[in-house]
Structure 1
């Protein structure tokens, strides 16, 4: 299966250059090409990709500013004409750093690193925790501690027993991230709940602790079926 990728670079020649290299491989499908960070961010708010080919210096927000805003972080391959950003690249844990101009062989080496990382991830057991970015810092949350997640406009609220965390994301992105977690389910257009934390259900409403959460009529039958699986 091919890995999905987007390219973010303000130079059309550089974008075309990368697109051609990606076409030559049999492992990458380019699903978007953007000339600035702001447009790329709007795409990534609604879509998750495997690889982000990213220039650093661009008009408007830099490549690193884009990374600061992302809730779900793809594998990042920096493509820049300077070597000044090596330390920053290390801090952001990018997969590779391609200095322009680079050869197809060097490009293949970078892609190979990403492919290996995905192979290891696929073989690894499902993690019991996740990181969310809230108030400018990354916070580790154990999945079992999450009671429910609520959509509030362009943000989501993670609710645990004693704390709440606001993160910039969409509920759709959260749902895709939790696709392997059988105990989590979207029960309403504004809510994902931990099915194991439900105290009781009454008509089209469920209760988790002191919280009252609506159930979509379209999803109620599936919710009742999934409770037996998650319990």
Structure 2
């Protein structure tokens, strides 16, 4: 199912009544998808694939940068030039990859510092925080 979002402009102020999702055009009507249900969005040329928690997928005829501008910053974060990820679903981080549910998503070096700053990470190194020396 393909949807064209060209010409769609994000509102400057979102109403709290409709700020919980995104309407996507499908076969002559617009269907609402909740941000909380989006697992990740993957770029594929001039198209994007929206993957949802229920394992469904919607194809949209729009570049990832245009989709990114339509999304709230809170949880849906660009983690790679080809991926936007809902950070609520991340349960594992290893090297340059993040796992959301059963899917591993690459994390680009450019996005790494921003992505990791969103997580509460307990540092378990043996360095003494007062002196900087290892214990």
Range into which the TM-score falls when normalised by the shorter chain:
0.7 to 0.9
Please give the secondary structure, in 1, of the residue aligned with 2:66.
Answer: helix
Aligned twin of 1:153? 45
Q: Tell me the secondary structure at the aligned position of residue 213 of structure 1.
A: strand
* Number of the residue aligned with 2:81: 189
Aligned counterpart for 1:132 among listed residues 24, 35, 39 = 24
Provide structure 1 residue ranges, at least 5 long, that are not aligned to the other structure: 1-67, 76-117
Given that 2:48 and 2:62 are in contact with CA atoms closer than 8 Å, whether structure 1 keeps it comes out as: yes
State the Cα distance separating 1:137 from its structure 2 match. 4.4
Q: Deviations over 1:14-60 (max 9, x none)?
A: xxxxxxxxxxxxxxxxxxxxxxxxxxxxxxxxxxxxxxxxxxxxxxx
Relative contact order higher in (CA < 8 Å, ≥ 6 apart): 2
Asked if residue 73 in structure 1 is aligned to residue 4 in structure 2, the reply is: no
1:223 shift after superposition: 0.7
2:4–2:60 contact (8 Å) kept in structure 1: no
Q: How many pairs were matched up? A: 116
- Following TM superposition, where does structure 1 have runs of at least 4 consecutive aligned residues deviating by more than 3 angstroms? 68-72, 134-137
When the two chains are superposed, the root-mean-square deviation of aligned CA atoms in Å is 2.4
Secondary structure at the aligned position of 1:226 is classed as coil
Give the TM-score, by structure 1 length: 0.45
SS in 1 for 2:36: helix
> What TM-score do you get using the length of structure 2 for normalisation?
0.75
Bigger strand share = 2
Which whole-Å CA distance do the structure 2 matches of 1:192 and 1:123 have between them? 21
Query: How far off its partner does 1:69 sit?
Result: 3.7
* CA shift in 2, pair 1:151/1:137, >3 Å: farther
Match of 2:63 in 1: 170
Instruction: Give 3-state SS (helix, strand or coil) of 1:122's partner.
Output: coil
Question: As a proportion of its length, which structure holds more helix?
Answer: 1
